[in-house]
Amino acid sequence: MHAPTSTFPQRVSIAIHDKRLQAALDHASGGFVTKRAAQVAALPEFEALRERARSVKEHVLAHLDTYLLRYEEQVTRQGGHVHWASTAEEAREIVLGICRKVNAKTVTKGKSMVSEEIGLNDALEAAGCEVIETDLGEYIIQLAHEPPSHIIVPAVHKTRAQVGDLFDEHHRPLGYTKHLTEVSEMVNEARQVLRGHYFRADVGITGGNFLIAETGSSIIVTNEGNGDLTQTLARVHIVTSGIERVVPTLDDAVTFLRLLARSATGQETETYTTVSTGPRRAGDLDGPQEYHVVLVDNGRSKMLGGPFREMLRCIRCGACLNHCPVYTSIGGHAYGWVYPGPMGSVLTPLINGIDKAYDLPNACTLNGRCQTVCPVKIPLPGLLRELRRQQFEGGLTPAPIRFGLKAWAFLARRPRLYHFKMRIGIALLSRFARGRAALTWLPLAGGWTDTRDLPAPQGRTFQQAWSARKGARP
Amino acid sequence: MTSAGTGRDQVLASIRQSLGRTGPDARTLVPLAGTGPRPSFDGDPVERFVAKMLEKSATLVRIASLADVGPAVARFVASVGAGRSLCVSNALAAIAWPAELEIEHRAAVRADETSVTPCFAAVAESGGIVTLSGPDTPSTLNFVPDNHIVVVHASQVVRHFEDIWTQWRASGRPMPRTVNIISGPSRTADIEQTIQLGAHGPRRLHLLLVAG
């Protein structure tokens, strides 16, 4: 992984003061939320689909080795190759090995979060390959040398003016000299530039939204058709996918497909759903000559055995990002790695180490919207709480917070003392407020009141008010 | 490849350890009972298919029989100002093509403007045509040209996505390299969430719906 050079609070501060980013985030998140809600309202079976999807994933996870072996057997039967990578490094080595074997110079790529996770582009470029991202959003951030800021719309943080400038810089040497201001012109220019790459690519790499044990197939969904051109026109097709993506049958995949587009972009279905099984058949006029699948573990099998198992149900739809008040305020880059938002705050510490991403599980208000919209019902707030607990147990929580938590625990276990202290505290604050509705400054708590006001207590504690109310009722 | 072999053993061992086993599951795998819910809808599936495809920016004309395919294709090509050369699936070779069109049966190349293909099925649920790749139906025809014309028979329309797999299993055909489910022309919203058609795949998806 790239170790970020700044801290999470520094990145958050930059993001919150970035007016262009804030405008882009406001524009994007509202649209996704509204469109998703409309799709859910139009499908009475949505809740039943979520429940079925949850059960299918739980069933697969309980038999993960068996399903992966079935899948491998079918891929092999269809003339494909399955490679197993227990770490990101192994995954990169496997892909590089295939590329070397076929003497690959040019590699086109459809969108794949696993390839981001394993840092594949840098490794391919270091090995001398030209790598071209073909999803328009991924292409834009590749030109900008940035990581994705959203798992579904990777360039969501870029304005059209920024894209116009990037195209000026990178397309001018190719003979495209007109400065573009309209989205339609930009899409068209990218289409022309990328067409050339598809046809000369040696290797095409895509992700895999679902792997089908029944048939040995991999499924991708796109709106642009870039994944299809990538995998059909290259000599060799490589699928990079997490081991948790296997589902038993084509019918099961349909359950997830019904949830994925609606949850992700608020579409009824994506434009292209593509089921790929093995390489070009005898007599076929097109298609890749080789078909490889790289199954990436990278910490997933460890998650299977502990309290984070439910995270392995994730289908990477991004709904939790779109509905998260923290993500929609700070964007994806502040999270510091490839997976942002609630799902990223769980995955990043689990994949990179719980000590490497202290802030992420704590940058959550536990409001629960992510869990409410998750198509596979992952209890994200619960998993984030569990990470906080493990951080505390592992001694990673900073001393002032540990002290505060311990002090609170001491009091909370002693109700009489707690109530006594609370009465004093509330009375003091109330006097300090002297009739004001909110306190803008508190002695010894300037760090807290610098950025927010504390509503002034009205004189009695909740417990006192409650007792009085009970007393007043017969 | 030895490194792949080690990776495989490691991944499987780690999964089994997490599942509390040391070796393969001794029990026979019992598939999960039940099936996923299917969206219910009333009315004629063909009409729903048509409505859903139009919603997703495809265009469609209804024709009486395969004999009308040639003239309908000629009219479409003229209406969008595309050239007269067409890359056509070999599965449609028996069609009487108008003399003004130049027909070639092959995989698509970059210069191709328009393709014509059959489909294996069409889905009413949320709209989609389904193609299977094969010697007569190269999948580049679905993605490379600017205009993709698809001949759909009304009798090919199924209600739900699961019905595609049922039909495929019943056909006795081996799994093709690619099954494409296509629900409209290529699109992107990657720049400022502005929907733009014709991102990488076809700019237009034109359906010829043959009665019966």
Which three-class secondary structure state does DSSP give residue B11? Answer: helix
Cross-chain residue pair A183–B196, CB shorter than 8 Å: yes
Stretch 365-424 of chain A: residues touching chain B, C-beta under 8 Å: none
pLDDT at residue B13, rounded to an integer:
97
In chain B the first and final C-alpha atoms are separated, in Å, by: 53
Distance of CA B205 to the CA centre of its chain: 11
In a domain, A200, yes or no: yes
Residue A438 lies in a domain: yes
Tell me: the pLDDT tens digits for A237-247? Answer: 999 999 999 99
- Report percent pLDDT > 70 for chain A: 99
Q: Which token pair is A456?
A: 């002034």
CATH of the domain at B164: 3.40.50.10420
The nearest alpha carbon in chain B to A226 belongs to B200
For chain A, the C-alpha Rg in angstroms (whole number) is 26
Within this chain, do residues A293 and A417 fall inside the same structural domain, yes or no?
no
pLDDT band at A185 (very low <50, low <70, confident <90, very high): very high
Q: What share of chain A in percent tops pLDDT 90?
A: 81
| B110 is a domain residue | yes
ipTM of the complex: 0.96
Task: Note whether A112 and A248 are same-domain residues.
Answer: yes
Query: Domain for residue A392, yes or no?
Result: no
What is the domain range of residue B107? 43-184+195-210
Is residue B156 scored above 50 in pLDDT?
Answer: yes
CB contact under 8 A, B3 and A90: yes
Which amino acid, B32? L
Chain centroid offset of residue A69 CA: 27
In total, how many domains does chain B have?
Answer: 1
Both structure tokens of A65: 């080795």
Q: Between β-strands B59-63 and B204-210, what pairing exists: parallel, antiparallel or unpaired? A: parallel
Q: Is residue B67 part of a domain?
A: yes
- Residue B6: what pLDDT? 85
Strand partners, A217: A212
Q: How many CB atoms lie within 10 A of CB A410?
A: 11
Out of A55, A252, A271, name the one closest to residue B183 (CB): A271
Question: What is the helix (H) or strand (E) element at residue B115, kind and residue range?
Answer: strand B114-118
Q: Is the pLDDT of residue A348 over 90?
A: yes
Residues of chain B neighbouring A28 (CB-CB closer than 8 A): 193
Report whether pLDDT(A471) > 80.
no
Of the three residues A282, A301, A320, the one that is the final residue of a domain is A301
B25 pLDDT more than 50: yes
Residues A297 and A440 in one domain: no
Q: Would you call B139 and A93 a contact, using CB atoms and an 8 Å cutoff? A: no
Of the CA atoms within 13 Å of residue B169, those in its CB half-sphere come to 10
* CATH number of the domain residue A150 falls in: 3.40.50.10420
Please report whether residue A387 resides in a domain: no
Q: How many domains does chain A have?
A: 2
Mutation target for A interface from B29, B30, B109, B177: give the one with most A CBs within 10 A.
B177
Residues A286 and A164 in one domain: yes
- The answer on pLDDT for A426 being more than 90 is no
pLDDT for position B5: 63
Portion of chain B with pLDDT greater than 90, in percent: 93
Let me know if residue B177 belongs to a domain: yes
E runs forming strands in A226-333: 236-242, 246-247, 272-276, 290-296
Q: Inspect the interface and report whether the beta carbons of A304 and B15 lie closer than 8 Å.
A: yes
Q: Label residue A452 by pLDDT band (50, 70, 90).
A: confident
Residue B126 lies in a domain: yes
Which of A269, A304, A308 is the best residue to mutate to test the B interface, defined by the most B CB atoms within 10 Å of its own CB? A269
- B17 inside domain: no
Do A21 and A166 lie in one domain? The reply is: yes
**How many whole angstroms separate alpha carbon A362 and alpha carbon A345?**
9
User: Do the chains contact at A136 and B190, CB–CB below 8 Å?
Assistant: yes
A395-406 tens-digit pLDDT: 998 998 889 889
CA distance A323 to A29: 7
Q: Which of A301, A335, A351 is where one domain is finished?
A: A301
pTM of the model: 0.94
Kindly provide the residue ranges of all beta strands, DSSP E only, lying in A93-251, ordered along the sequence: 106-109, 130-133, 203-206, 210-212, 217-222, 236-242, 246-247
Task: In whole angstroms, give the CA distance from residue B93 to residue B111.
Answer: 21
Assess if residue B30 is contained within a domain: no
Residue A173 and residue A44 in one domain: yes
Query: For residue A238, which of A296, A281, A195, A193 has the smallest C-alpha distance?
Result: A296
Structural domain includes residue A195: yes
Optimal mutation site among A56, A65, A83, A94, interface B, most CBs of chain B within 10 A? A65
pLDDT in tens, A41-61: 999 999 999 999 999 999 999
- Which residues form the domain of A454? 413-472
Domain boundary among A254, A278, A301: A301
Sheet holding A130-133, edge to edge: A81-85, A290-296, A236-242, A203-206, A106-109, A130-133
Q: Do B179 and A195 touch (CB under 8 A)?
A: no
Distance to chain A for B153, nearest Cα, Å:
21
Residue B65 lies in a domain: yes
In a domain, residue A124? The reply is yes
Tell me the average pLDDT across A147-155.
93
pLDDT for B1: 44
